[in-house]
Amino acid sequence: MNDTIRVKNIDLRGVTVADTKISFIDGEKGVLIYRGYRIEELAQNSSFMEIAYLLLQGVLPDRKQLEAFSRQGVEARQVPGFIYESFKRWPREAHPMDVLQAAMPILAMADPDLSSETREANVLKAIRLIARLPVVVAAWHRIRKGLEPLPADVHLSHAANFLWQLSGEKPDGETARDLDTCLVLHADHTFNASTFACREVISTQAHMYAGVAAGVGALSGNLHGGANAQVMKMLFELESERDIPGWVKRQLEHGQKIMGLGHAVYKTTDPRAKFLKDIASRLAKKLGQERWPRLSSQIEKAALEEFERRGQTTIKPNVDFYSAPVYHLMGIPTDLMTPIFAISRVAGWCAHVIEEKFAEAQAKPTLYRPKAEYIGHYCGLVGCTYEPIQGRG
């Protein structure tokens, strides 16, 4: 009996591979939901730590629960010194996403609960990962500039502390709140490429850090989290361009993508993009740097008109299109934009790790193991005639 379902080389679009209780997307209606709550409501009212709790525990925390969870996060910002010592030996030109991925097994070695596979121990690992990813990104940035990492400030919020450890300056409340909103918006997104990678690794019973390392690797690509840095590079390149519609046309004629536009699931609107567009406009106005959102709007308008002319009406701005100018306006270097995505998405990855490990949305944990059709050299089941190396000329 042949019970294989063939879904080859279609990017797994439209293929449902699991159940999940963590998040939901309606790509036609432009809706994103975390654990039942609309992203718009969460972005307006919740902090990132509240969202991390929601994703991990399945319910919104009450005040006491949030205080305790946040306190655990603050305490976990302390990173063992050997991590910085090893960073100091690494090449300074290393990409921060490579450093972040390489830091995962090192953080694993520093986790006292690594070998404990209870749900509680995994939540503790998740809190450490959520607390430490920003610390690691900030520390690497300083070390590569020849500076010492800064100690965490226990009085600062998650987002504010990251900006402090990165730049050595305490951010104003509005900037810290804006970054926190960005983290809320990026925290989870169902079975995107990095989350799928993460869950696939966890299905082998690997530990949480191994899964998150896979997630970081998948996120680094330009079609996924790497797109925000590509958007910023495009904005720099086009800063002095007078003919944006002409540039867009030429780009598409040469088969090039316009970064930050289009989405595998959203086909009408990405509900996160509106928030980021608003933050970009407000920040730009405050800083007198309105050319950035103006340029983004010009590219968006020209590209959407050109797509429309080509009959491609489903390609709209995604989360990366406006997060890039937002981060730039916050003074964040371009190559740290994708790591900031990771700093947020780690909350979703950890929630998915726990859901996968403890079969919280399925009957029992199972190993992901798809098949591939072999289309290579073939001489039948007896195998091809093997010629020892001496006889191969």
Ligand X SMILES: CC(C)(COP(=O)(O)OP(=O)(O)OC[C@H]1O[C@@H](n2cnc3c(N)ncnc32)[C@H](O)[C@@H]1OP(=O)(O)O)[C@@H](O)C(=O)NCCC(=O)NCCS
| Residue 318 within binding range of ligand X, rule CB under 6 A | yes
Task: Tell me if residue 139 falls in helix, strand or coil.
Answer: helix
Closer residue to ligand X in complex, CB, 201/248:
248
109 burial level (CB within 10 Å; 0-12, 13-18, 19+): exposed
- DSSP designation for 11: T
Binding track, positions 284-313, relative to ligand X; x by CB under 6 A: ----------------------------x-
Q: What residues numbered 211-250 form the site for ligand X, per CB under 6 A?
A: 223, 227
Residue entry with tokens 């009408």: 268
- Among 61, 134, 215, 260, contact with ligand X (rule: CB under 6 A): 260
| Residue 356 within binding range of ligand X, rule CB under 6 A | no
Cα–Cα distance measured from residue 297 to residue 309, given in angstroms and rounded to the nearest whole number: 18
Cα–Cα distance measured from residue 375 to residue 323, given in angstroms and rounded to the nearest whole number: 42
Strand order in the sheet with 37-38: 23-26, 31-34, 37-38
- Among 99, 261, 324, 353, contact with ligand X (rule: CB under 6 A): 261
Residue entry with tokens 């690992």: 125
Spatial contact of 349 and 215, defined as CB atoms under 8 Å apart: yes
Q: How many CB atoms lie within 10 A of CB 249?
A: 16
CB of 205 to ligand X, least distance (A): 30
Q: Please state, in angstroms and as integers, the Cα–Cα distance from residue 348 to each residue in 43, 52, 120, 253, 314, following that order.
A: 15, 8, 17, 37, 26
Closer residue to ligand X in complex, CB, 291/310:
310
Closer residue to ligand X in complex, CB, 183/258:
258
> Of 173-181, 256-264, 328-336, 384-392, which segment contacts ligand X by CB under 6 A?
256-264
Closer residue to ligand X in complex, CB, 182/319:
319
| Residue 15 within binding range of ligand X, rule CB under 6 A | no
- Among 111, 320, 355, 356, contact with ligand X (rule: CB under 6 A): 320
Q: What residues numbered 109-148 form the site for ligand X, per CB under 6 A?
A: none
Give the list of residues 6+ apart from residue 17 with CB closer than 8 angstroms, or none. Answer: 191, 196, 368
> Of 2-10, 60-68, 69-77, 257-265, which segment contacts ligand X by CB under 6 A?
257-265
- Among 95, 170, 257, 274, contact with ligand X (rule: CB under 6 A): 257
C-alpha 70, offset from chain centre: 21
Residue type, 36: G
CB of 262 to ligand X, least distance (A): 2
| Residue 315 within binding range of ligand X, rule CB under 6 A | yes
**Beta-sheet pairing, 23-26 with 31-34:** antiparallel
Cα–Cα distance measured from residue 382 to residue 358, given in angstroms and rounded to the nearest whole number: 43
CB of 68 to ligand X, least distance (A): 34
> Of 38-46, 253-261, 282-290, 293-301, which segment contacts ligand X by CB under 6 A?
253-261
Q: Known catalytic residues?
A: 263, 320
CB of 214 to ligand X, least distance (A): 18
Residues that bind ligand X (CB under 6 A): 223, 227, 252, 257-264, 312, 315, 318-320
